[in-house]
Structure 1
Amino acid sequence: MAKWTPKHEAPEPLEGPVVATIVGGTILWFAMFLAQLPFYGWFADRDLLWWVWTCAAGGFLGLIGIWYVRGRDAALKRHAAEAAARARQDGTLPEAGQA
């Protein structure tokens, strides 16, 4: 069996407002869950209750996602601050406020 090799180098991952994106998605899942609750009987009559519970599961998994991405964001900032402090000690970066 031939080994597959990529033709191009993989692009750098996109960094954006990850925490805000996950919070927004979680709010949407919970909003869809709450919007479907008044129609619970309609969904039950048609064997579509999985729609309601999928939205609830999305909301609760989103809470786990918020916890995860906030921790990741804090770790990235902590690492950047430590690297900057180390560079200042080595004399490779000017102190804050100096040009």
Structure 2
Amino acid sequence: MSAVGAPSATGVLYVKAGPDEKCVGDCPFSLKAVLAANLKGVKVDVVPVDLSNKPASFLAITEAGSTPVFVHDGRTLTDSAEIVEYVDTLGTDSAQP
């Protein structure tokens, strides 16, 4: 996993951190975004964010300070439905026959 604000050629997906601050937490919207990227084969750097102690670098990306946030090609998406829709345009669904 990358540090908050680290550049990525593929995209960075900021998600709610789990109790250990290293894994994805219990936010259904964050999980939805991670699953969509995985299902579409889109490579993302998943960055867990401690929402009780948000880094300034994360708050610079999103005023709301909520997750998920997807940053890719100069685009920042903060709504899980928009993230899923965008990821759908990036990847190919290998699960389809």
Quickly name the TM-score band, shorter chain normalised.
under 0.3
> How does the TM-score come out when normalised to structure 1?
0.26
Structure whose CA Rg is larger = 1
> How does the TM-score come out when normalised to structure 2?
0.26
